[in-house]
Structure formats: C-alpha cells, structure tokens
C-alpha cells in the first residue's frame, strides 16, 4: 500500500482535475465514503465540525448525504465562511437547500456531548503551523465530548508529513483517508490520534503511482519475498551466516542472533564469540560455534578469522560486542566491505562516527533511536532526514521504532506490525540474525529487511495475544518464527 506526502496528495488532485475529473466529483466521492463509514457507528445524531477549506467541504457534503439518508445532522463552521475555498462554499450552498441546521463559530454554545458522532473536518493535510484560537478551542471541546469521532483525511491538528501534534489535535476513533495513506498517519504520536484508519478509493489519476517510493509492509508485500527451497538443494545453497558477536560481559546477545538466523532458513550458521556462549549448543546444536576465550574482539582477530570470514556470505556484527571491540570492527569493515554483506547492530554502529570509514550497498545498519541519535542528529520521526542519511551512507537502514522505517534512500518501507512486546533487550539481536539469514539466502539487503522485520514483528504480535506484551521474550519469539513463515508459505 502506497504512502504519500501532502505535496504528492495535492499534485495527484491537480493532475486528476486537469484530466477532466471535476473537483466536485472527487469531493462527492470522498463525502460518500465518509458517510458510509459514519453509518457504521449507528449514530442517532451527528455534528459535523468543519473549517473553511476543501476538508470542510468533504465534511459538509458527508453531512448532507447523511441528512438525506434520514439522520439528524447539524453543522458547526469554525472560522469565517466568506473566506472559504470554492469547494467549501459550493457544499455550504448545497447544504442550506437541505435545511440542515448550520451554526457559525458558536463553539461554546453547543453541547458536543449530545451527539453520538462528531465528524471532524476542521483542518486537512495542509496544516503547517500550530493550531490556535477558535480551532484549538473546538478541538478541545470535541475531545472532551465523550462522543465517537470520525476524522476526514487526517485528525485536525496532526501534521500529515511528520505525525506531530501541532499544538493540539483531535483524538479520533476512526480516520478515513483518500486514495493513499499519508506519512504522518503511520508515525507516533499521530497513530494514537488517528484511531483505525480506513483508506477510501477515489477516481485519482494513477500516472504518479510508480513514482511513489514509500510503502506500507503488508502480508502480500512479503509473501513474494520468501526464498524458494527446492527439494534438490543442499546446505550451502542457502548461504552461510557468520555471526561475530558477544563479549565476556554480554554472552547472551549472540545466541539470539544465531538462533534467529538458523530458524529462518540459513544453510549454515557460524557463531564466533570472545567469551563463552557455548550454551547456544544446548539450544540449537546445529549451530557451528567457537569461542576465542577472551574478554572482547581485538583488531588482530580480523586476520585470525580470515578463513571463516571468507567462507561466509554475510557477516552479522555487533550484538553484545561492547565498544572495546571498536578497532576490530573498523578493520573488519574496511577490509571486507567490498566483498561481503554486513548487518551492523548495537556497538558495531559506533563505526558511523569514524570519518575515514565509508559504507556501501553491502551494508544494513539496524539502529534504535538511542543508537541513531549518537551518530545522526536529525532523528525525530523524520522520514525525509532518514532517507537522506541512507543516501549519504549508501546503505540500507532499519530504524527500529514503534513504526519501523526501512530505507535505502531510494525506497522506504513502513513496518507497523510490531508492538511493545519487542521493547526488550534481545529483540534487536534476534532481528539482526534473521536479516543475515535472508541476505545469505540470496535476497537483496532491502528485501531481506522487509521480510525479516515482518517475520519477527508479526510473530511477536501474534504471540502477545497469548503471552501478553509484558511476558513475551525474544527467545519465545525465536522459537515461534516458523508459524509466521508457515503463514507466508501457505
């Protein structure tokens, strides 16, 4: 499912109208979708709270349609209607002919609580500044009404490009958006304000669809990425994952990475740690393991591990290694960056601070917000900044968050499958191993990140119904990855 910016939405509107589909037609289609969804609330009385733009026109038209279907509908206009858009003025003129009760700027004189449903058409996707004055006051009254709320396109007060609350915002039960999802709807805090999002089709011009480079990850996105496993295959056909991870201080992190790689189809998983993580063999004896019997990796270990490195298809580097391994990481990356694929996680990401280290398309980095903030200042839910950073690094970034963003700078994917059960130590270690597995099996770095994140996150979401978000652990997720893979393979 494609995701667009506010400027792309306006351009699509413009191109559609230029090809002969009138703006009134698009507004009527949008209004019918709003009205249809409004009916699912089974309201007895409806208040349409609108501003003066085209978003308000959608709200007024929806109110008129609902009035014509027999519902008790009233309209509150916030702002000067003489300053409204042409679409707004047209819909207001039509609504008057249907004898709908229309209030103008009487924000405090209306008992919002008397309505079962409030349709929010105050502000659309064009919001850029902070909400103030009468509009802010109306939003406060809507939120305190106790009524169900249906927002048109985006909850008023939300930036459709960043997901930020611009001062104050409507807390919707549902949001109906048109044609495509908007970036801000998928980011926090906006996700909490949108409620359930419904995407309504309109007669939009489709000439731009192939140029839209942002997409929501759905099951159908992932199904086609699952690597084939021909019956006449052998282990090396499915690749070798080399995991260089752990330390005397953190012996558990590499175990989760190794199990994640093994349970998602890699042909060979080799785990080398400085300290003792040998209990991985009790959990998964098929993993090839050895310990260097030291506190942490050292620069000289790059040469000592040459044979294992050269026989691998992908190197998972970082979980649990600590910053003491910095020289090891730097030499390993500089030596093999053109010949090997890498997944960098945890303390391996400190390499991004080094000006003399350059990554390339062979690399996946998997930071969470704390790790990314150490090397990249513009970290706040900034899709555009993250895309620029991926271009600068020339690699694929998996930004682990409540909405996980996956980008190589050219294409960006949004993963909203996960939940708070993943906000635990070890979840990222598991994910890094899964990503390495899919890269080893022949997927591109971007493809591996799409399917790998989905498999881990979907498994976690499904399991949390049984285990709860509190009790679910990365090890339980690892042991149940097969269930999601089974669903994708059916």
Provide the pLDDT for residue 108.
80
Residue 404 annotated as lining a ligand binding site: yes
Residue 315 and residue 336 in contact, taking contact as beta carbons nearer than 8 Å: yes
Is pLDDT at 179 greater than 90 in this prediction? yes
Residue 63 annotated as lining a ligand binding site: no
Alpha carbon 297 to chain centroid, angstroms: 34
State both tokens at 203: 């007669």
Question: What DSSP string runs through 34-53?
Answer: HHHHHHTT--SEEEEEE-SS
Is pLDDT at 24 greater than 60 in this prediction? yes
Residue 156 annotated as lining a ligand binding site: yes
State both tokens at 66: 């609902």
Provide the pLDDT for residue 203.
94
Provide the pLDDT for residue 173.
99
Residue 291 annotated as lining a ligand binding site: no
State both tokens at 78: 């916030």
Q: Return d(Cα 169, Cα 217) in angstroms, integer.
A: 27
Instruction: Give the pLDDT band of residue 283 (cuts 50, 70, 90).
Output: confident
Residue 298 and residue 283 in contact, taking contact as beta carbons nearer than 8 Å: no
Residue 401 annotated as lining a ligand binding site: yes
Provide the pLDDT for residue 378.
65
Residue 70 annotated as lining a ligand binding site: no
Instruction: Give the pLDDT band of residue 364 (cuts 50, 70, 90).
Output: very high
Residue 130 annotated as lining a ligand binding site: yes
Residue 128 annotated as lining a ligand binding site: yes
Task: From residue 238, give the alpha-carbon distance in Å to each of 169, 191, 252, 442.
Answer: 50, 38, 25, 8
Report which DSSP code applies to 337.
T
Residue 345 annotated as lining a ligand binding site: no
Question: What DSSP string runs through 367-430?
Answer: -BHHHHHTT-S--SS-HHHHHHHHHHHTSEEEEBSSSEEEE-SS-EEEE----GGG-STTHHHH
Instruction: Give the pLDDT band of residue 377 (cuts 50, 70, 90).
Output: confident
Domains in the chain, CATH or no CATH each: 3-212 (3.40.50.10260), 219-489 (3.40.1190.20)
pLDDT in tens, 300-322: 999 999 999 999 999 999 999 99
Residue 393 annotated as lining a ligand binding site: no
Is pLDDT at 105 greater than 60 in this prediction? yes
Report which DSSP code applies to 341.
E
Residue 111 annotated as lining a ligand binding site: no
DSSP element (H, E) containing 431: helix 427-440
Q: Please state, as a whole number, how many other Cβ atoms lie within 10 Å of the Cβ of residue 68.
A: 12
pLDDT in tens, 228-272: 888 888 788 899 999 999 998 899 899 999 999 999 999 999 999
Residue 55 annotated as lining a ligand binding site: yes
Q: Return d(Cα 367, Cα 396) in angstroms, integer.
A: 11
Residue 390 annotated as lining a ligand binding site: no
pLDDT in tens, 201-230: 999 988 888 899 999 999 999 999 999 888
Residue 428 annotated as lining a ligand binding site: yes
Residue 403 annotated as lining a ligand binding site: yes
């Amino acid at each position: 499912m494609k995701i667009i910016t506010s400027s792309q939405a306006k351009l699509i509107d413009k191109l559609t109208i230029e090809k002969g589909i009138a703006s009134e037609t698009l507004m009527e289609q949008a209004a019918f979708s709003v009205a249809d969804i409004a009916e699912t609330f089974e309201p007895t009385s409806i208040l349409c709270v609108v501003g003066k733009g085209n978003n308000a026109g959608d709200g007024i038209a929806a109110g008129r349609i609902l009035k014509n279907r027999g519902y008790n509908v009233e309209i509150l206009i916030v702002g000067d209607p003489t300053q409204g858009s042409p679409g707004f003025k047209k819909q207001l003129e039509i609504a008057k002919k249907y004898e709908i009760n229309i209030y103008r700027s009487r924000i405090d004189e209306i008992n919002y609580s008397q309505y079962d449903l409030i349709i929010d058409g105050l502000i659309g996707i064009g919001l850029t500044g902070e909400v103030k004055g009468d509009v802010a006051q109306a939003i406060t009254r809507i939120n305190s009404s106790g009524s169900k709320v249906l927002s048109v396109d985006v909850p008023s007060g939300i930036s459709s490009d960043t997901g930020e609350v611009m001062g104050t915002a409507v807390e919707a039960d549902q949001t109906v958006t048109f044609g495509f999802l908007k970036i801000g709807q998928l980011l926090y805090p906006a996700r909490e304000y949108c409620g359930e999002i419904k995407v309504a089709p309109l007669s939009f011009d489709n000439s731009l669809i192939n140029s839209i480079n942002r997409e929501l990850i759905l099951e159908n996105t992932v199904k086609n990425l699952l690597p084939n496993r021909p019956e006449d295959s052998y282990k090396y056909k499915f690749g070798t994952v080399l995991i260089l991870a752990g330390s005397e201080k953190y012996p558990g992190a590499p175990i989760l990475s190794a199990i994640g790689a093994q349970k998602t189809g890699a042909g060979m998983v080799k785990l080398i740690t400085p300290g003792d993580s040998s209990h991985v063999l009790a959990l998964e004896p098929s993993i090839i393991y050895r310990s260097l019997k030291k506190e942490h990796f050292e620069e000289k270990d790059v040469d000592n591990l040459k044979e294992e490195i050269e026989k691998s298809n992908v190197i998972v580097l970082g979980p649990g290694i600590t910053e003491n391994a910095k020289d090891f990481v730097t030499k390993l990356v500089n030596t093999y960056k053109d010949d090997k694929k890498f997944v960098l996680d945890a303390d391996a990401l400190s390499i991004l601070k080094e000006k003399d280290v350059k990554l390339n398309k062979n690399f996946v980095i998997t930071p969470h917000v704390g790790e990314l903030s150490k090397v990249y200042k513009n970290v706040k839910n900034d899709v555009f900044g993250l895309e620029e950073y991926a271009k600068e690094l020339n690699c694929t970034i998996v930004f682990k968050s409540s909405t996980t963003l996956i980008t190589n700078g050219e294409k960006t994917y949004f993963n909203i499958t996960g939940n708070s059960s993943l906000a635990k130590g070890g979840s990222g270690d598991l994910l890094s191993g899964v990503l390495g597995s899919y890269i080893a099996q022949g997927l591109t770095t971007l493809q591996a990140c799409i399917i790998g994140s989905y498999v881990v996150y979907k498994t976690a979401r499904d399991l949390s119904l049984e285990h709860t978000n509190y009790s679910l652990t990365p090890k339980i997720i690892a042991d149940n990855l097969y269930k999601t893979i089974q669903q994708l393979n059916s």
